[in-house]
Structure 1
Amino acid sequence: MVAIVCVSDQSGCRLYPLGLLVALLPLLTTHLCLLLNFSQETLAWCNPYWLDCHSISATGRQGVAYFVFKGGMLPAMLLLALYWWLNQYWLRHHFTHKVFAIGWLGSLASVALSVYTLSLGHDGDIPYLLRRTGVVTYLGLTFICQLILAATLSQSPLTRSTGRHLLTLSTLTLSLALLSLALDASMGEGYERIENAVEWSLILLLNLHVLLSVRLWKRLGVRMTLQHQ
């Protein structure tokens, strides 16, 4: 039987470049689609991380950006699922006394955002329900996976510093999500002015978490190899 094993030695394929693509492709896709909408004047110019700007969904609904969004996000979700499976193999190699489910949870998160991506640009109650369910499921499961990864890394002296930084980032993500719920309840319709900025910020934080974790891959020289078992 052949198994994939993630190791920290000179054998196998380096994972750092793949990790960089996982972290940056979603950010590049969404920001590129926003710029395409600006250039085609389908959306008004604004700062997505500030008041009264457009949602991420709005960037992929029309024009050339409709195709760019799907063409970038669907491969990004496939890579994200692979990223979580590689993390699971790597953690099992170094923490053999634990059982991790982040491969499965991360794959479900990727499927959820793929459903969101495919339903984007289509009208009706069912596409709307698919989009809402997809994005909420993606955010929730991704946060759980990142929390498991950070908590596990913080237990080892070799990875403790990065693990604690990742926990801090996860705490910031959760705090922003809870703050947005509180503001939504207290501000009423006024919350709509900042809702999209919160959405962009949450996605940025989730991808920064990936970027910080793959920096650890680079520092430790994590590689993927095949072993017979």
Structure 2
Amino acid sequence: MSMRERGFIPLWPLPLAAALLLLVATHLALWLSIQAGHVPACVPYWEGCTSISRAARHGLGNHLFRLLVIPCALLHGANWWVAGRWLRDDGGKAARWWMLTLGLFSASALAIYATFLGTEGEVYGFLRRYGVTVYFGFGFLAQLLLMRRARAGRRMPPAVLAGMALLCATMLGLGVGNVIAGALVADDSLRDRVENALEWQLGLLLVGWHLLLARGWWRDRFGLRLYRGGEPL
């Protein structure tokens, strides 16, 4: 089916928009916080001068971050729902159900994290930690399930799937590195910098994964077909 066909709406812009909105939100919050003096000026991907949460916790950066990330969470939820529809004819009903469930929980956790970022109190702190942990963890598992079903159904080019697998392996390595840094690095300041840098790198890899998903859906010509009176437009 041609993506230019009348009445056809391609869906590859959905993961593209989710990825770019998250990328813009985090870096805009970082820039605003640097300008306001809330965090030091640096490149956090390797200097680890601040976490994503701290960069988006204060002032105008916090307001814009929440303004952008809450709709971004809705896009992530829609992305996983659409992914379930994409794979509905490829078998693996149980795996598809788990992918959708984990993906929706991940998107909800992102919304919770953004909603309570910048608030004080033990309950709010728990919700923030829960949000970011579930977002990354459940989202990662949903990604693995999507890749498994897409490979089984041959729905994506091998090069795209290989790139997604490489990003997932790197994300897993960063997660393990974060745990090791927390356990073995005795210096509190150094440990915080390492963990902060790994967090930024993990977020960038997550954006890259969604960009590859958009590429895969574009190649698969996945989209919605509009009908009127039972007939295609």
Q: Does 1:13 align with 2:9?
A: yes
Aligned to 2:104: 107
CA pair 105-97 structure 1, distance change in 2 beyond 3 A: closer
Looking at structure 1, the residues matched to 176 and 207 of structure 2 have their Cα atoms a distance apart, in angstroms, of 19
For 1:134 and 1:103, the matched residues in 2 are separated by 18
Deviation at 1:160, TM superposition (A): 4.8
Percent identity, aligned pairs only, is 33
Residue from 138, 145, 149 that aligns with 2:146:
149
- Judge which range, 190-199 or 24-33, deviates more: 190-199
How far did 1:226 drift?
5.7
CA distance in 1, matches of 2:77, 2:226: 19
Q: Name 1:167's counterpart in structure 2.
A: 165
Mapped partners of 2:19, 2:224: distance in 1: 18
Distance 2:202 2:2 in 1: 31
Q: Name the counterpart of 2:22.
A: 26
Deviation at residue 206 of structure 1 after TM alignment: 1.2
Tell me by how many angstroms 1:39 deviates.
1.8
Q: 3-state SS of the aligned residue for 1:121?
A: coil
Contact 1:150–1:164, Cα closer than 8 Å, also in 2: no
- In 2, the alpha carbon distance for the partners of 1:37 and 1:71 equals 16
Q: Distance in 1 between matches of 2:201 and 2:28?
A: 16
SS in 2 for 1:61: coil
- Distance of 2:49 and 2:65 partners within structure 1: 18
Q: TM-score, with normalisation over the residues of structure 1?
A: 0.89
Aligned in 2, Cα 1:33/1:66: closer, same or farther, shift over 3 Å? same
Residue 16 of structure 1, CA deviation: 2.1
Q: CA deviation at 1:155?
A: 2.3
Aligned pair partner of 1:184 in 182, 199, 216: 182
Paired position in structure 1 for 2:124 = 127
Does the 8 A contact of 1:14 with 1:224 survive in 2?
yes
Q: 1:29 to 1:117 in 2, by over 3 A?
A: same
Q: Number of aligned pairs?
A: 221
User: Which has the higher relative contact order, 1 or 2, with Cα contacts under 8 A spaced 6 or more apart?
Assistant: 1
Q: Secondary structure at the match of 1:50?
A: helix
Change (3 A) 1:44 1:205: same
Q: Give secondary structure in 1 for the equivalent of 2:39.
A: coil
Whichever residue aligns with residue 182 of structure 1, its letter is I
Q: Residue 8 and residue 139 in structure 1: after superposition, are their counterparts in 2 closer, same or farther (change >3 A)? A: farther
Q: CA separation of 1:145/1:8 partners in 2, compared to 1, >3 Å: closer, same or farther?
A: farther
Corresponding position of 1:218 = 218
Indicate the residue corresponding to 1:36 in structure 2. 32
Cα deviation for residue 144 of structure 1 reads 0.5
Structure 1 distance, partners of 2:102, 2:55, is 27
RMSD: 1.9
Tell me the CA shift for residue 126 of structure 1. Answer: 0.9
The one-letter code of the counterpart of 1:180 is: N
The answer to whether the 8 Å contact 1:169/1:205 transfers is yes
Q: Do the aligned residues in 2 keep the contact of 1:152 with 1:163 (CA within 8 Å)?
A: no
Q: So what's the TM-score if we normalise by structure 2?
A: 0.88
How far apart, in 1, do the equivalents of 2:182 and 2:200 lie? 16
Aligned mates of 2:165, 2:41 — CA distance in 1: 35
Q: What's 2:75 paired with?
A: 79
Using the TM superposition, give the Cα deviation of residue 201 of structure 1 relative to its aligned residue in structure 2, in angstroms: 0.8
Distance 1:129 1:18 in 2: 30
Measure the CA separation in 1 of the matches of 2:126 and 2:44.
24
